[in-house]
């Protein structure tokens, strides 16, 4: 009977630990998105040119590329911290969207986990 109680308590603690870590990761991702979007808002005003977007990505992204034919986006991957590498190879991507006149309109931040 004591063994069953101990097993039930262990299962509950493992479940709570997993749920807590999932919540912590979600909060970390949300904070990262907010921080990167705040950085974009500070350094890249609406209507900024392609050169301004390129300069922003050169300062902050490890690698980036331009798609001006289909999606009208400048996209880059931010450098990984040690924590990011240990969190299932977490990657943070920023996409800078622009209009047909090649002027900055909006930004989007995505967090990816590769697990490999």
Asked if the model's pLDDT at residue 116 lies above 70, the reply is: no
What digits encode the pLDDT tens for the residues 87-108? 778 899 999 999 989 999 999 9
Q: Where are the alpha helices (DSSP H) in the chain?
A: 2-43, 50-60, 82-86
pLDDT score for 85 = 81
What digits encode the pLDDT tens for the residues 21-76? 788 888 989 999 999 999 999 999 999 999 999 999 999 999 999 988 888 899 99
Asked if the model's pLDDT at residue 18 lies above 90, the reply is: no
State the CB neighbour count (10 A cutoff) for residue 49.
Answer: 13
N residues, the chain: 116
């Amino acid at each position: 009977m004591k063994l069953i109680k101990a097993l039930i308590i262990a299962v509950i603690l493992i479940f709570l630990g997993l749920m807590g870590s999932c919540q912590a990761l979600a909060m970390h991702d949300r904070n990262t998105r907010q921080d990167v979007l705040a950085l974009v808002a500070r350094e890249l005003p609406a209507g900024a040119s392609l050169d301004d977007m390129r300069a922003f990505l050169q300062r902050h992204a490890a690698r980036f590329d331009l798609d001006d034919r289909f999606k009208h986006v400048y996209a880059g991957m931010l450098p990984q911290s040690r924590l990011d590498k240990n969190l299932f190879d977490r990657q943070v991507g920023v996409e800078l969207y622009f209009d047909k006149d090649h002027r900055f309109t909006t930004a989007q931040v995505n967090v990816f986990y590769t697990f490999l």
